[in-house]
Amino acid sequence: MLNRRGFVKAALAAPFVPSLAGFLSSRAQAEAGKTLKAAPATAQLVPADVAGPTPVWAFNGTAPGPVLRVKAGERLKVMVENGLDQPTSVHWHGIRIANGMDGVPGLTQEAIEPGASFSYDFVAPDPGTYWYHSHDRSWEQNARGLHGALIVEEAEPWAGADRDLVLVVDDWRLTEDGTIDESFGHMMDWSHAGRLGNVVTVNGSYRPKFAVRPNERIRVRLINASNARTMAIGLAGTTARLLALDGMPVGLNDVAEPVQLAPAQRADLLADFAASETPLPIAVETRDGPVPIAEIVVSGDPVREASDDPIGLPTSGPGVLPNLSGAKRVELLMEGGAMGGMSGAMHDGRMMDMRALVDEGRVWAFNGIAGDMDEPLARFAKGSPALIAIRNDTGWPHAMHVHGHHFRVVSRNGKPIADPALRDTDLMMPDETIEIAFIADNPGKWLLHCHMLEHAAAGMMTWFEVA
């Protein structure tokens, strides 16, 4: 039996932990709560004979919170109650939402104070896999468990899958006694890769098992809810096809490789599971090979004799690639971080050197400004094409997220991309330059930030206005 220290160290590093293979998830995820209460709770994140339960912050008592479901075009009303001892807010990630419901304190609403509540009320226009998460001190609140899946169902039910399997993948930094490591705000994390954890859970459980029947066709909705860990996730024993990225259909492409998800990104896979005597792992790629994070158990009577040809999702979202002639072009230079060579940046209205910036908890900059929000990056006329050229002049990957719009990466490192997918978050590698394009058709003030949450808090945040 592994001891606690060994478990936490081994959870990500070891290719297989045989003594824990029987650990079974019994989490029941409620659907469509009208109220989300953020409050302290406990969660059994690692096997009970190893450690825990872990004190977490949860929506309605579970981390992740309940799976919320709404039909495309319909209104979702959620009363968020704050049972924490610090302010909070909820961002509905990837939804082309009305600006006042976007959940960004100081930009679109006042933070929800302890004991107070806020009524979110919005139309979800596009079917797909989304998620909700804290957007106040999110580097701490998201890491403590304040997030959940938001599924926007097709207005007309899609007949392409027998059912959904929603998998919220999270990365926790735990101590050896199973409590959350309190190293929040650590400048080593903020200036490097962000807060990386040491235990990966799926739907709040360690290596849960999910039962399917032979030849059952499942829409697997993968959500990377971690603060900073990019994960390549693969399904064994199935021909999984890629259906959608960040909620938006991508056609029907075979997936030969594990699908890479940066923090906040989602992928929908269509998976047929043939009969199997042994459980089929869902695994994250690591340097030491794939590490199982969940298992599919195939049992019972076949759903059908054999799998027929799959059908793709109906197209939704913002139609065809916009005509970019006359687009307003904006440059965004990302700098800073460890080994980045940034000498200083503007903060609080004055130029600061790196030492002064570190004292302020700001170590990254956009266009020479370390996270100050007084002025927008750009203003776009409502309905006009927008083109933002983003250069990652740092030594680190970043998951660049735009609020209120889906965009297309129309070029990467100067090479045009044919038929780019609609995304709300793009993973940029060091020294990469991308151009993203979208129609700025959603009025309001919208964040553009790195979704490695420590990077956002330490300067990688700006906003633009559509009016």
Q: Which residues bind Cu ion (CB under 5 A)?
A: 398, 450, 452, 455
Q: How far is the CB of 447 from Cu ion (least distance, A)?
A: 14
Shortest spacing between CB 78 and Cu ion, in angstroms? 29
Q: Which residue number, 43 or 399, has a Cβ lying nearer to Cu ion?
A: 399
d(CA 248, CA 127) in angstroms, rounded, equals 8
Burial category of 83 from C-beta neighbours within 10 Å (exposed 0-12, middle 13-18, buried 19 and up): middle
In the complex, least distance from residue 460 CB atom to Cu ion, rounded to whole angstroms? 5
For strands 328-336 and 384-392, give the pairing. Answer: parallel
> Do 420 and 317 form a contact (C-beta atoms < 8 A)?
no
**Nearest residue to 111 (alpha-carbon basis) of 143, 141, 151:** 141
The contacts of residue 199 (CB under 8 Å, 6+ apart) are 8, 11, 12, 45, 46, 171, 172, 173, 174, 206
- Other CB atoms within 10 A of residue 119 CB: 10
**Minimum distance, C-beta of residue 144 to Cu ion, in the bound complex (Å):** 20
Closest to 50 measured CA to CA, from 85, 14, 1, 94: 1
Nearer to Cu ion, 403 or 455 (CB): 455
Q: What is the C-alpha to C-alpha distance for residues 248 and 260, in angstroms, rounded to an integer?
A: 16
How far is it, in rounded angstroms, from Cα 312 to Cα 302? 23
Tell me how far, at minimum, the Cβ of 449 lies from Cu ion, in Å. 8
**Comparison of 335 and 465: residue with beta carbon closer to Cu ion:** 335
Residue nearer to Cu ion on the CB measure, 91 or 398: 398
C-alpha–C-alpha distance, residues 296 and 217, integer Å: 13
Nearer to Cu ion (CB atom), residue 398 or residue 408? 398
- Least distance from Cu ion to the Cβ atom of residue 222, Å: 21
Closest alpha carbon to 427 in 453, 404, 397, 402: 397
Least distance in angstroms from the C-beta of 129 to Cu ion: 22
CA distance 62 to 115: 19
Shorter beta-carbon distance to Cu ion: residue 244 or 457: 457
Of 168 and 452, the one with the shorter C-beta distance to Cu ion is: 452
